[in-house]
Amino acid sequence: MEIFVQQTINALSLGGIYALLALGLAVVFSIVRLINFAHGEVMTVTGYGIWFILLSGFPVGLAIAFGVVAAIAVSVSMERVAFRQMRGADVTTLLITSFAVSQIIQVLFQTGISARPVAVILPAWLTDSIMIGPVRVGMVSLLSIAVVLVSLVLLRLVLTRTVTGISMRAAAEDFAVVRLMGISANRIIATAFAISGALAGIAAVLWVASRGSVDPLMGAIPVLKAFIATVVGGLGSLGGAVVGGFVLGVVEVYLQAFLPEGALPYRDAIALSIIVGILVLRPEGLLPGVSTNRS
C-alpha cells in the first residue's frame, strides 16, 4: 500500500509537469494552430538560467525567478522573430519552423556552453525526502504537485476573470471575430506565447530540481511527451492537455513501478499502446475542445 501511495505521488508529480508543458503547447496551438516543438528549448533556457544564477552565487529563489522570466522572454521572442513572419502559413510550414528554432537553440547551447550536462546544485532541503505517515516522499514530488495545482488555478483565473484571458479563449474559437472586437491579434498571440513560456519555465524548474542537471537536449523528450499528452487530451483543448498530461504521467510511473522485471524493457511500447488504445476509443481525445470556427 505504501508503495502504491508513493508511486501515486510520483505519478501526479510527473503528470503535473507534463500537464504544464502540454498546457503551454495547447495555449499556443488553440490560437495559432502551431505545435511549437521549440517549447522544449524554452525549458532548456530556464535550466541554464538557473544554473548560471546559482553559479554566480545568488540565492535559489532569485535563480528560479530568473529562469521563469527568461522562459517568458525567450518564448515571446520566438514568436516575434520566427513565428510572426509565418503567420497564416500552413501547419507543415509552422511545424518545420518550430523544428528549426529548436535546432538553432540546441546548437547555440552545445557550442556556447557544452554538449555535456552541467550540474545544478540545489539546496539540500529541496532534494531531501520526508516521511508522511509510513510513506517516504521526495520534497520535489510534493512541491511539484503543489506548484502545478497553484499554476493551474492561477491560469484558470486569468482565462476566466480577465479580458485578456477571455479574449484568448475566444480566439481559440474564432480568431477573426476576436479581431473584429478591436482586440489586437499581436497582443493575444504574444500573451499566449508569454503564458506558454511561463508554464514551460515552471515545468523546467521542477524538471531540473528532480534531475539536478541541465543539458542542451534537456527539453526534447519532455516536449515530445507533452505533445502526446495534448493529442490524448484533445488537440487544442486546454482542459484536455491537463488531463492528457496526468494520464501520461500515471501510465509511465505505474508501468515503471508495477510491471514485472521481465516486461520492463517493453515499458515504453506498452505505454504507447495504451495511448493508441485511448485514441482508438476516443479519436478526438479525452476532452475535445469546442468546435472551432475559423476563417
Partner 1 sequence: MLEVASLKVRYGAIEAVRGLDLAVGKGELVALLGANGAGKSSTLAAISGLTPWSGDITFEGKSLKGLSPEAITRAGIGLVPEGRRIFAGLTVSENLLLGGAVHAAPVELRQRAAEMQDRFPILAERRHQKAGLMSGGEQQMLAIVRALMARPKLLLMDEPSLGLAPQVVEAVFDLIASLRSEGITILLVEQNVPMSLDIADHALVLAQGRLSVSGTTEEVSRSEAVRGAYLGLSA
Using DSSP's 3-state secondary structure scheme, residue 57 falls into coil
Q: Which is nearer to partner 1, 32 or 250 (CB)?
A: 32
Q: Is 182 left (phi over 0), alpha (psi -120 to 50) or beta?
A: left
* Count of residues that bind partner 1 according to CB under 8 A: 22
Q: Which is nearer to partner 1, 112 or 182 (CB)?
A: 182
Q: Which residues contact 13 (CB under 8 A, 6 or more apart)?
A: 138, 140, 141, 142, 144, 145, 148, 206, 210, 249
CB of 290 to partner 1, least distance (A): 4
Nearest CA to 119 out of 200, 218, 202 is that of 218
Do the beta carbons of residue 159 and residue 168 sit within 8 Å?
Answer: yes
Q: Which stretch binds partner 1 (CB under 8 A): 142-150, 216-224, 248-256, 285-293?
A: 285-293
Over the window 162 to 181, marking each residue x when it contacts partner 1 by CB under 8 A and - when it does not, the resulting string is -x--xx-xx--xx-xxxxxx
Q: Which is nearer to partner 1, 77 or 184 (CB)?
A: 184
Query: Is 287 an interacting residue with respect to partner 1 (CB under 8 A)?
Result: no
CB of 169 to partner 1, least distance (A): 6
CB of 57 to partner 1, least distance (A): 44
Please report where in the chains the cell 479580458 appears, as a residue. Answer: 163
Q: Which is nearer to partner 1, 31 or 248 (CB)?
A: 31
Distance CA 135, CA 83 (A): 47
Under rule CB under 8 A, which residues in 135-164 are in contact with partner 1? 163
Distance CA 28, CA 164 (A): 14
Do the beta carbons of residue 259 and residue 270 sit within 8 Å?
Answer: yes
Positions that interact with partner 1 (CB under 8 A): 163, 166-167, 169-170, 173-174, 176-185, 289-291, 293, 295
